[in-house]
Structure 1
Amino acid sequence: MKRKNHFPKLALGLSIMFAMSSLTQAEVVTSIKPLGFIAAAIAEGVTPVTVVLPDGASEHDYALRPSDIRRIKNADLLVWVGPEMESFITRSASQLPANKNLELTALPVIQSHLVGEDDHDHPSLQANAINTANSSDRELSDSHSHQGTYNLHIWMSPEMALMSATAIHDRLVQSMPAQKIKLDSNLSQFKDSLGDADKQISKQLSKVKDNRYYVFHDAYTYFEQHYGLSPLGYFTVNPEIQPGAQKLHEIRTQLTEHKAQCVFAEPQFRPAVIDAVSRGTGVRKGTLDPLGSNISLSQDSYVKFLSQLSSQYVSCLKPMN
């Protein structure tokens, strides 16, 4: 009796399994966690969202692992700020098809809201401006302008967060048209919850908005301008570069002369200079987490992130007993 050859069937079965496996691995990948918060709100119930940058790491000096590169290559959509913020993403992003590569600072609507690193009076960043986000200008710019002179911490702006959410929504509708109703609902829910949180945070921060303080690095400008806070300044633009002796003397003088109430460190960077410059001044020390490292991705994680940041400000800036 002739033995049947089952290898063709086995090979076919394995190829189907691999194909199904590759389908189930499809996901939205974001460079950093705050963008993951925004993407998770839009992709809820549609597709998974994962983050490249591990908790506790810094976007300023991270190097991709082989598993990160594979994840980006297989992504339905990669969401990142841009090469001046996450240089570790640039090469992998350039190898993706244009429709799977969402570089947020290449969007004209977001470009028009960027401020210079030393610009504190940008007219387009006004409090309570969330609902004015222009959703009609959503296409990628054909040319990527150099943005090294701009503050690129766009997730700190509730207004630009909504613009980012809209861009993610539009890309996912293009790639998953059958999910349009769910994606539309998610975007609407994000807009509503963000609007509600914005009102609550404005009320919470209004009680401390005139109190002066220093932050560790220049990550909070959009948040501070949106809510009308009163920073004295920051220790450094690049957290990898420690401020020099002259800069520290200047900061210490301002802490005293302007009666600063707080200096803020960050979980990713706890430099000894903060202890040194505040020692003997009576100034409180607080912590701001610009990446929301202790928050898990969920549909309401971005709102939680903003609320946590607000509470971190208030805890250090509230009146001393």
Structure 2
Amino acid sequence: MSFASSPPSILASLKPLQLIVMSLQKPLLRHDIELEVSTLLPPGATPHDYVLKPSDIVRVLQADLILWMGPVVEPYLVSVIARADQNKVIDISQLAGLKRLAFRALLENGEGHEDDKHHEHEHGHDEMLQFDPHIWWSVDNAGVIAARVMTALDVKSDKSSIVTQAMQPVRALLANNKIKAMKQQPSFIIFHDGLQYLESDLGVVSAARVALDDDHRPGIKTLLALKQKVKVNQVVCVVAETNTNVSIIHKIEAATPLRQIVIDSLGWGRESYQDMLQQAYDKILACHS
């Protein structure tokens, strides 16, 4: 595909998608190809409740290539995406070869079960989401996304070789941290289940997942079940989002105080995809006795 601008303007709806595309920049520069990649969603906003500004609409319609997570995850983009040239739109959720993990059970009313209403509320759309959308935490998925972007670029060089070069540093990073995870066996619970793909990559599993937002506050049964899991699994940390109210921590602590760690599932404040992964790996692996 040939683009009107040089360098081509690539617009990613979410920060992690931008960071993945930017991973291609270094190997592409060896071929004198530069990318201009930006994020649509501003810092601190979520795709569940964001309202597009007129300037946002202009950016979408003027971009040479648009990456988004599809209508179920990002319903606020549906109308403007429909107006864009569909040859320039990539719906990441529909990519072939993408690793898709089912939603995990959340601890509710003292028991772990699939909370469909919570997931539907969380993603703000009447149509049920069929898989966990936080796919960018999977290094293999990052490779699939990078490869799809490369197919859209007007590049005469070996595209698969460029993707391999782009992904090599993060694959090496994952391999190194996977070894650490096997040795350290981190133990933690999650107050927003946005890291399943990262856990799968590292070979670790959180002791429990809890819905924690304005509409979902743990009841007494859930708190007692959490406290038991903390004790039995010797949980060290509580993993939460940036703005999550984790005031219930003291209610579920056992003999040792729990450490609170913050991992933003949307990657805000990270300079590169590798940096985003490293920061998250370091925090998870620090959750060991």
Measure the CA separation in 2 of the matches of 1:61 and 1:240. 14
* Partner residue, 1:215: 190
SS across alignment from 2:217: coil
User: 1:263·1:278 contact (CA, 8 Å) conserved in 2?
Assistant: no
Cα deviation for residue 252 of structure 1 reads 2.9
Cα deviation for residue 313 of structure 1 reads 0.9
* TM-aligned CA distance change 1:62 to 1:166, over 3 Å: same
Cα deviation for residue 50 of structure 1 reads 0.3
Q: Aligned letter for 1:303? A: Q
Measure the CA separation in 2 of the matches of 1:79 and 1:166. 13
Map of 1:38-187 to 2, 5 A cutoff? 38-43=20-25, 45-110=33-98, 113-118=99-104, 148-172=129-153, 176=154, 179-181=155-157, 186-187=162-163
- Of 213, 216, 225, the match for 1:242: 216
Moved more, 247-256 or 163-172: 247-256
Q: Aligned letter for 1:304? A: D
Q: Aligned letter for 2:196? A: T
1:306 aligned to 2:277?
A: yes
Measure the CA separation in 1 of the matches of 2:74 and 2:213. 14
Measure the CA separation in 2 of the matches of 1:218 and 1:273. 18
Q: Aligned letter for 1:66? A: P
SS across alignment from 1:115: coil
Q: Aligned letter for 1:83? A: P
* TM-aligned CA distance change 1:251 to 1:280, over 3 Å: closer
Q: Aligned letter for 1:302? A: Y
Q: Aligned letter for 1:33? A: K
Measure the CA separation in 2 of the matches of 1:62 and 1:274. 28
Which digits, 9 at most, give the CA deviation of each residue in 1:230-281, with x for residues without a partner? 3112122x856433314334323322343211111222x2214443544565
Q: Aligned letter for 2:245? A: P
Cα deviation for residue 98 of structure 1 reads 2.0
User: 2:21·2:146 contact (CA, 8 Å) conserved in 1?
Assistant: yes
* TM-aligned CA distance change 1:277 to 1:28, over 3 Å: farther
Aligned residues: 258
Which digits, 9 at most, give the CA deviation of each residue in 1:69-94, with x for residues without a partner? 11111111111222222222222222
Measure the CA separation in 2 of the matches of 1:94 and 1:318. 48
* Partner residue, 1:201: 177
1:34 aligned to 2:16?
A: yes
* TM-aligned CA distance change 1:204 to 1:229, over 3 Å: same
Measure the CA separation in 1 of the matches of 2:49 and 2:248. 21
TM-score w.r.t. length of structure 2: 0.79
Q: Aligned letter for 1:307? A: Q
